[in-house]
Amino acid sequence: MKPVASHFFPFLLQFSFLILQIDSSYLIYGDALSKSILFFEGQRSGFLPNDQRMSWRGNSGLGDGSPDNVDLTGGYYDAGDNIKFGFPMAFTTTMLAWSVIEFGEMMPPVDLRNTLVAVRWATDYLLKTVAQPDRIYVQVGDPIKDHNCWERPEDMDTDRTVYKVDAPNPASDVAGETAAALAAASIAFRSSDPGYSHTILTTATRVFEYADTYRGAYSDNTDIRNGVCPFYCDFDGYQASCIHIQLV
């Protein structure tokens, strides 16, 4: 199993903001903030924009979702993997969005802009994963085959298996975290893009209803368990990762 590096960066963002608040003369922390945001561009999947700053990264995963005839392009790869795990991606997005909510006013304009772009790169993908009623796509890529083959995402030739959960099967953890990510992002975008903010808030409400109605861990579904465990499966019951969301 590859190291889970991607979840460290939202916490690094918050740490950087706190240091900047204490003493802005510590420019090294401002540099850490900028680089931690830049990290997300290196993790991007899909068709990359013209303003992509990491020019060595190319388009990848352009056929994601095709086994199910859906568009699941975009989002972020997990750590050093070429897998897109919906659960940790949603958690990372929640933390990143809350970093903007709590500390956005302290951020240099360019860093605020890049952080919002990073949030939206994730939420655009998460919207795709819950576009169909009573269904949530939780993962793209076979983790066993991927972990046995280290390669650039631009060159990957491993299976891009699609994993999904349909009602009435449970998915409280991943659906709840996806709802949290969308709800937090709706606050972050409220002033800069109210239309998008409304769209993701409405979706967050619907996805939370799935989480609350079909209670249980998504990894308990036998048809996907071998693909999500032991990587991001539930160990302590889905209640252990309760999501508190204020849908404002």
The pLDDT of residue 49 is above 60:
yes
pLDDT tens-digit map of 98-149: 999 999 998 889 999 999 999 999 999 999 999 999 999 999 999 999 988 8
Does 58 have pLDDT greater than 70? yes
pLDDT at 28 over 60: yes
Reported as a pLDDT band with limits 50, 70 and 90, residue 27 is: low
Domains plus CATH for the chain? 8-241 (1.50.10.10)
Q: Compute CA distances 33 → 20, 46, 54, whole Å.
A: 10, 24, 16
Write down the pLDDT at residue 150.
87
pLDDT confidence of residue 1: 40
Tell me what the pLDDT averaged over the chain comes to.
86
Task: Kindly indicate the confidence band of residue 8, based on its pLDDT and cuts at 50, 70 and 90.
Answer: very low
What lies within 8 Å, CB to CB, of 61 at 6+ separation is 45, 46, 73, 82, 84, 140, 153, 156, 160
Q: Find the largest Cα–Cα distance for the chain.
A: 54
The predicted-structure confidence for 196-228, as pLDDT tens digits, reads as follows: 999 999 999 999 999 999 999 999 999 999 998
Bridge partners (DSSP) of residue 60 are 46
pLDDT value for 224: 93
**Across 30-48, average pLDDT:** 90
pLDDT value for 23: 53
Question: Would you place residue 246 in the very low, low, confident or very high pLDDT band (cuts 50, 70, 90)?
Answer: very low
- Look at residue 19 and tell me whether its pLDDT is greater than 90: no
